[in-house]
A and B are shown apart, each in its own frame.
Chain A
Amino acid sequence: KQEVTQIPAALSVPEGENLVLNCSFTDSAIYNLQWFRQDPGKGLTSLLLIQSSQREQTSGRLNASLDKSSGRSTLYIAASQPGDSATYLCAVYSGGGADGLTFGKGTHLIIQP
Chain B
Amino acid sequence: GAVVSQHPSWVICKSGTSVKIECRSLDFQATTMFWYRQFPKQSLMLMATSNEGSKATYEQGVEKDKFLINHASLTLSTLTVTSAHPEDSSFYICSAMIHPFEQYFGPGTRLTVT
Cα A36 to Cα B36 with chains together (Å): 15
| Interface flag for A93 (CB, 8 Å) | yes
Q: Is the interface of B mostly helix, strand, loop or mixed?
A: strand
Q: How many residues of A contact B (CB 8 A)?
A: 25
Closest B residue to A49 by beta carbon equals: B102
Contact of A100 among B36, B100, B104 (CB under 8 A): B36
Which of B44-52, B72-80, B81-89 sits within the interface? B44-52
Cα A72 to Cα B104 with chains together (Å): 23
Closest A residue to B108 by beta carbon equals: A43
**Chain A-chain B contacts (Cβ-Cβ < 8 Å), number:** 58
Q: Chain B CB within 10 Å — which of A42, A93, A100, A103 has the most?
A: A100
Cα A36 to Cα B100 with chains together (Å): 18
Cα A104 to Cα B16 with chains together (Å): 32
Report yes or no: B100 in contact with A101, Cβ–Cβ below 8 A: no
Report yes or no: A44 in contact with B46, Cβ–Cβ below 8 A: no
Given A43-B106, A100-B34, A100-B49: A32 touches B43 (CB 8 Å cut-off) = no
User: Chain B residues with Cβ under 8 A from A36's Cβ?
Assistant: 105
Contacts from B to A (Cβ < 8 Å) = 32, 34, 36, 42-46, 49, 51, 57, 91, 93, 95, 97, 100-108, 110
Contacts from A to B (Cβ < 8 Å) = 31-32, 34, 36, 41-44, 46, 49, 51, 89, 91, 93, 95, 97-106
